[in-house]
Amino acid sequence: MNKTSSVDWAAIEAQPAFRALLARKSRFIISATIFFVAYYFALPVLVGWFPTLMKQVVFGVINLAYLFALSQFFMAWTLAFIYTRTAAQWDIAAAQVIKNH
């Protein structure tokens, strides 16, 4: 144990609650990353393989490709918002694990 720390981190690491928290974090982060990468690369794939579909005019000069490209900004903001809310829950759970130690 570190002399400057009053917490026995090795004991906390061995707790099932700590391991469950790490598993929840990993599931979320891996899932969010896969979703983000798939969504991000969907635009060039769709434009490359389905150009006629992506040229469909939605209104005025705006087509599906433009809308999809703009939606990526909103998707990134939404994902960031969801992440910050979820990370706040992890902080609470981590504090509880430390407290119960």
pLDDT attached to residue 82: 97
pLDDT digits over 4-56, tens only?
667 788 888 889 999 999 999 999 999 999 999 999 999 999 999 999 999 99
Contacts of range 69-77, beta carbons closer than 8 Å, 24 or more positions apart: 69/43, 72/39, 72/40, 72/43, 75/36, 75/39, 76/36
* Residue range 77-91, pLDDT digits in tens: 999 999 999 999 999
Residues 6 or more apart in contact with residue 12 via CB below 8 angstroms: 18, 97, 98, 101
Nearest to 94 by CA among 27, 18, 14: 18
User: Which pLDDT value is given to residue 5?
Assistant: 65
pLDDT at 6: 75
Q: How far apart are CA 33 and CA 27, in angstroms?
A: 10
Find out whether 67 and 42 touch, Cβ atoms under 8 Å: no
Does the pTM surpass 0.85? The reply is: no
